[in-house]
Chains A and B, each alone.
Chain A
Amino acid sequence: MKVLVAVKRVIDYNVKVRVKPDESDVDLANVKMAMNPFCEIAVEEAVRLKEQGVASEIVVVSIGPAKAEEQIRQALALGADRGLLVTTEDDQSLTSLQVAKTLQAVMAEEKPDLVILGKQAIDSDNNQTGQMLAALTGLPQGTFASRVTVEDGKVAVTREIDGGLQTIRLSLPAVVTTDLRLNEPRFAKLPDIMKAKRKPMDKKSLADLGISMDSGVTIVKVTPPAERKGGGKVASVEELVDKLKNEAKVI
């Protein structure tokens, strides 16, 4: 079966972001970018499905600036077969619904049996795109997956829920979003990185797919969170208990 994986180029997860002085957004100039960690897990899962003989082809798609080609090449180096980059204008950021509509248009052409996405991007922290894509395409969804098993034309997904784990079974095609514990992504080896350069990569623009850019959501401002300052150290357990009782009055 054919698996479509969506990946996003985001700020590297180790970078501490800074808000622009004009409060319009966070400052992404000259900041290290990388593949969103949840998307790496999605790529890894697709590659494992291929290694198990379940998936026959893995198509990886990203929607973003021209530089998002780097993240697609990375996915190709990890084992995806071909890439599709839907380019946005520089500095143009899409809402989850716009991304889901774009992916819907990609799905209409690619007709995958399974779509795997990360559960959330670590920049917008929305946790919406996979669910929205499932809704738009009328497909079932398995979100926050920590185990994915394809059998008999269905996919069983074990999901991380607040009280523990829940297992559901979805008819295919289906949309799955990955949680952190689904797998541990591998590293790309140098020969694979070289090979990935020769793998096919298509490019399209949002206009080619006819995606509307009206969202109805505008950012008024972006500010740093209220700063929290450490209160210093205490020398002993007695001092700690005393301060919690008499100074902080929390016990």
Chain B
Amino acid sequence: MSILLIAEHHQGELSEGTAHAVTAARAMGGDIHVLVAGENMDAVAQAAACLKGVQQVRVADHAVYGHALAEPMADLVVKLAADYEHIVALATTGGKNFMPRVAALLDVDQISDIMEVHAADEFSRPIYAGNAIARVKVSTPKKVITVRGTGFDATGEQSACDIATVDYVSDLALSEFVGEELAQSDRPELTAARVVISGGRGMGNGENFKLLEGIADKLNAAIGASRAAVDAGFVPNDMQVGQTGKVVAPDLYIAVGISGQIQHLAGMKDSKVIVAINKDDEAPIFQVADYGLVGDLFELVPELDKAL
């Protein structure tokens, strides 16, 4: 029995989340092979080979996989699937895009966004925006699974395992890459940061998000946002924390001017410590916050910045 884990990478670097997914795969038991697909993948493959518990890295290095389009990615994974019982990827926008396609091609249902592994065939996953947890048992011969990275710790390091080449080049001409606009940031990645500070509609405008930067710099935090702040156009959508954005579980989550709707809580309520700064003393965010501070964020945030 073995596991094929599809690595995630971004701008030529292995994503932090992959180390978390390896931990989930280790809990399933069996040999773990990591598939690295993309263009110019040497560094990514090397990094994946050093993740503790990985037995082999398989590299499909070709322009056709360069932008991780769903059709060639799924085609590639299905091509390799015969040797594996579990096929695992992160529940990021990348994994969510191609994995259900893999599952359907293998004629099985996918188990999405697992947060706990009970056995090789039994998993827990959140449903209803995290307001219920479903424990499911899978009896299909192939198990296609996406992993919530924040539900598992990162695996450690090892001396590099064997790296093998996959020669298969998918030739589906169904879709083509046109372009991308990537948000530039020097801060830690939102889903991997130890501290996250997020702003909501209460921030008033995008300019005011600068108020959060001082605190983010001091705590080496990532800056997030609620859906209300994104919808209002204050900040780009890739900063959104919530059911429909990113799920984070940092040591410290600071919610500034965020009321705490169900959809937002689904993305951050597994944080270790939650701090809420809000002028509305009745805001639902205070029901989950470990430390609540009631008052005007435009006074309290600069004060907090100074106090750190």
Contact = CB atoms under 8 A, between A and B. Distances in A.
B175 interface: yes
Interface stretch (A47-55, A105-113, A157-165, A199-207): A157-165
Contacts of B274: 228
Interface in B155-185: 173-183
Contacts of A139: 174
Q: How large is the interface on B (under 10, 10 to 19, 20 to 34, 35 or more residues)?
A: 35 or more
Contact of A135 (B96, B105, B183, B230): B105
Given A160-B237, A164-B236, A233-B294, A141 B101 contact: yes
Contacts of A218: 136-137, 139
B40 interface: no
B288 A228 contact: yes
A9 to B, nearest CB: 15
B103 A132 contact: yes
A130 B230 CA distance: 25
A132 B304 contact: no
B97 interface: yes
Contact of B112 (A125, A171, A216, A236): A125
Contacts of A129: 100
Contacts of B94: 161-162
A230 interface: yes
A164 B128 contact: no
Interface string A227-251: 0111111101110110110001011
A169 interface: yes
Contacts of A125: 112-113, 126-129, 243
Contacts of B177: 166-168
A128 B291 CA distance: 37
A11 B308 CA distance: 44
Interface in A4-59: 11, 13-14, 16-17, 19, 26
A232 B292 contact: yes
Interface string B296-308: 0000100110011
Contact of B128 (A11, A233, A238, A244): A11
Contacts of A70: none
A229 B163 CA distance: 47
B88 to A, nearest CB: 15
Nearest to A146: B237
A141 B294 CA distance: 46
Nearest to B108: A216
B131 A169 contact: no
B269 interface: yes
Contacts of B288: 228-230
B264 to A, nearest CB: 12
B212 interface: no
B272 A124 contact: no
A216 B237 contact: no
Contact of B246 (A119, A126, A162, A170): A162
A134 B172 CA distance: 13
Contacts of B11: 163
Contact of A234 (B108, B132, B230, B291): B291
A91 B91 CA distance: 28
A141 B103 contact: no
A244 B273 CA distance: 9
Contact of B289 (A120, A135, A231): A231
Contacts of B105: 135
A179 B244 contact: yes
Interface of B: 10-11, 67, 69-71, 74, 92-94, 96-105, 107-113, 122, 126-140, 173-183, 195, 219, 227, 230-231, 236-238, 243-244, 246, 251-252, 262-263, 269, 272-275, 286-294, 300, 303-304, 307-308
Return the 5 tightest CB-CB contacts between A and B, nearest first.
Answer: A140-B174, A131-B100, A132-B104, A216-B140, A135-B104
10 contacts: A17-B132, A128-B110, A131-B97, A134-B101, A220-B135, A220-B136, A229-B287, A232-B292, A248-B272, A251-B308
Interface of A: 11, 13-14, 16-17, 19, 26, 95-97, 100, 119-120, 122-136, 139-144, 146, 156, 159-171, 179-181, 215-225, 228-234, 236-238, 240-241, 243-244, 248, 250-251
